[in-house]
Amino acid sequence: MTNNARDLIKHPTVKALCSREVMLKSRTATGRAVTGRWSTDILPPTAQQWSDGLRAFRCVAHADTEDGKITDSHFG
């Protein structure tokens, strides 16, 4: 399809896979313990990676918390 994040997130399959609901269900125990509002996004391959043939993308999320600092992976 494309490595353009704005276009990629509009694709129905990508939208479903990276939905907030799917991401929340895949949290680890430490991720479930994080209080705050989780937001999701996608991370497509770079232009060079796309040119080299990489077609994988990643679903990512972050939590807005009082201290604003969430590090490490909280998803399985």
**pLDDT tens string 4-13:** 999 999 999 9
**Which region, left, alpha or beta, applies to residue 47 given φ > 0 means left and ψ of -120 to 50 means alpha?**
alpha
Q: How many CB atoms lie within 10 A of CB 14?
A: 18
46: which DSSP letter? P
Q: What is the pLDDT of residues 31-72, one digit of tens each?
A: 888 877 888 889 999 999 999 999 999 998 888 777 776 667
pLDDT of residue 16: 94
Mean pLDDT of 10-26: 92
pTM, 2 dp: 0.75
